[in-house]
Amino acid sequence: MDILPADHPQREKIRQVFRSLMTALVKVQDPKTGVWNQIVDRPAENGNYPEASASCMFAYALAKGLRMGCLSAEFRKALDTAYAGILKRFVAEDGDGLPVLRGTCKTAGLGLNPRRNGTFEYYVSEPVADDDPKGVGAFILAGVEVERLG
């Protein structure tokens, strides 16, 4: 929303879509850990696991949506729970005492390779990595927005 002109004819429609998406995501947020699973709509399925990059991206979206006034204050609890869960579940120290972000799905996608078929089994079989750039980037974005929000 920060780059969409204020007078854009579809601005309010885009804000509504964003609010709808955030409402749906909060409904599938793990109430115990505050984070989201690799497959968000099948949390109890065998093999599913908490995933860092998605959790960080969702926390970033919640924080930015709150800061920009796209989301109501009722979303703050979901954000606070998510960010605390991210710090507890995924942020650790390596052997040298440096921070490491654990739990990011290294690769996932569709197409080309017939194995990349979009099934639950495919997504949960992909390798999980520490300090994967897409997870670290999303974590930094989330942290910055949480700090800006205050």
**Could you tell me which residues come within 8 angstroms of residue 111 by beta carbon, excluding any fewer than 6 positions away?**
none
State the pLDDT at residue 107: 86
pLDDT mean over 120-131: 94
The larger pLDDT score, comparing residue 110 to residue 50, is at 50
Q: Is 35 helix (H, G, I), strand (E, B) or coil?
A: coil
* pTM for this entry: 0.93
Q: Which of 135, 111, 112 is nearest to 58 (CA)?
A: 135
Domains of the chain: which residue ranges? 11-149
Q: Is the pLDDT of residue 53 over 90?
A: yes
DSSP 8-state code for residue 105: E
pLDDT mean over 17-37: 98
Beta-strand relationship, 99-101 and 128-129 = unpaired
Q: Is the pLDDT of residue 1 over 80?
A: no
Q: Which fold has domain 11-149?
A: Glycosyltransferase (1.50.10)
